[in-house]
Structure 1
Amino acid sequence: MTGAEARPGRILLVACGALAREVVALKALNGWDHMDVSCLPALLHNRPDRIPAALRARIRAGRRTHGEVLVLYGDCGTGGALDAVLVEEGAERIEGPHCYAFLAGAGAFDGLMEEEPGSFFLTDFLARQFDRLVWRGLGLDRHPELRDAYFAHYRRVVHLVQQPDPAIAARAAAAAARLGLPLVTRVTGLGGLSAFLAPRVA
């Protein structure tokens, strides 16, 4: 969306690219036509030190075109720097240290970790992008012998399912098999995102 002046009735959601499909689906499901979505690249997770500055720039740009900006990001490895930017910019974000917590719900995520601390989590996005972001991202395509070292402390893969899809389920199963770990599936839906957005975008 472009424009020289902010439009008070419009809300901009600044989200991680790993949530793009889910946020767009939720927007369509609820008929939130007054809401726009702007995503930062999911690959920023490989360089979390760059997330705060990128987020600040997107918030400031959004304030020129929208009446309100909401942020769909966890801390995501920034060590508190992301929240410091939000305080400085006066913006609000969804609660939770990472997307696993706010997709599953804080209580449910804590329960999964208590059940098995050695859980490696996949969202639908990570299940789709496992080969690119995890396997090749960690260099396991070139050095598969490093798999057992990298994942020595994991005991299972937990797929947090936002939108049930047999193709994504198959990718999650394949990812778990490549890691040599059992797969556990938990359907989260979009409830965590909806609980944050619904009272703010109505």
Structure 2
Amino acid sequence: MPQHDIPDDKCLTEQGFDEMDSQQSILLIACGALAREILDLKTRNGWDHLALTCLPAILHVYPERITQAVEDAVAKHRDQYDRIFVVYADCGTGGLLEQACKRLGVEMVRGPHCYSFFEGNDKFAERGDDETTAFYLTDFLARQFDAFVWKPLGLDRHPELRDMYFGNYTKLIYQAQTDDPELTCRAQECADRMGLEFERRFTGYGDLQTTLTDWAGARPKSS
């Protein structure tokens, strides 16, 4: 993917991201943590009819704000596109996002969170209780571990609290969307800092890819 198509980390975590065109017929309203993956899939598949707007990824630190942010984005853009899809799973909203999407007549990604749909929701569910003590990282979180985990928990100021937060975990599972040795090294360092065993599991884009493929072929509601 061309380098200029990749949003920088500040844009993803704090400001959101837009790649929109009034000539496109389908809008994806997505979590900023998925921007790189969605842009990659768009480029690979030639999905030029898909427009993308991303809400700030930092909303995941405040999941109670996600539903309203999505509702506001749908209301803002509804008249400009034939179809709108929401590229979020439940993501800690306790079912509120799903209720809002049904009320607004828009589809969202199936699953409880991105760890599930990257692995594949069915496969993730099958693992069930076997991984209740696992801490998951994606490519995005491997890049943004300090901003989304270490600093919000205050561990940059009080590293002695590490075991209080992570003492019930046994391993860190890095769900790799890409084969990137640098990200694997970062994920390993995260596991070391947390005092956990490390496992790398290549998932690719999982159900995100199949879902977007389905949506890319969706007909306009008016047809």
1:53 match: 68
Match of 1:66 among 53, 72, 81: 81
1:179 maps to which residue? 194
Report the number of matched residues: 198
Secondary structure of 1:177's aligned partner: helix
Shift of 1:153: 1.1
For residue 62 of structure 1, report the CA deviation from its aligned partner. Answer: 2.2
Distance across 1 between alignment mates of 2:34 and 2:195: 27
User: Is it true that 1:166 corresponds to 2:181 in the alignment?
Assistant: yes
Instruction: Determine the structure 2 residue equivalent to 1:95.
Output: 110
Alpha-carbon separation, structure 1, partners of 2:208 and 2:107: 14
Deviations 1:43-85 (A, max 9, x none): 1111111111100011122212111001110111111111111
Q: Which moved more, 1:119-128 or 1:75-84?
A: 75-84
Secondary structure in 1 aligned to 2:25? strand
Distance 1:20 1:164 in 2: 18
CA offsets per residue over residues 162-198 of structure 1, 9 Å max, x none?
Answer: 1111111111011000001011111111231121121
Q: Distance in 2 between matches of 1:133 and 1:200?
A: 29
1:64-143 → structure 2 map (5 Å cutoff) = 64-143=79-158
Measured in 1, the distance between the counterparts of 2:126 and 2:135 equals: 14
Indicate the larger mover: 192-201 or 103-112: 103-112
TM superposition score normalised by structure 1? 0.93
Contact 1:116 1:155 in 2 (8 A): no
Aligned residue for 2:166? Answer: 151
The CA distance in 2 between the partners of 1:65 and 1:125, in whole Å, is 30
What's the % identity of the aligned pairs?
Answer: 46
Matched residues in 2 for 1:139 and 1:112: separation?
Answer: 31
Matches within 5 A, 1:2-81: 10-81=25-96
CA contact (8 A) 1:113 1:119 kept: no
Q: What CA distance in whole angstroms lies between the structure 2 residues aligned with 1:185 and 1:137? A: 24
Unaligned runs of 5+ in 2: 1-19, 218-223
CA separation in 2, counterparts of 1:161 and 1:170? 12
Q: CA deviation at 1:89?
A: 0.5
Q: Secondary structure at the match of 1:64?
A: helix
Amino acid aligned to 1:196: T
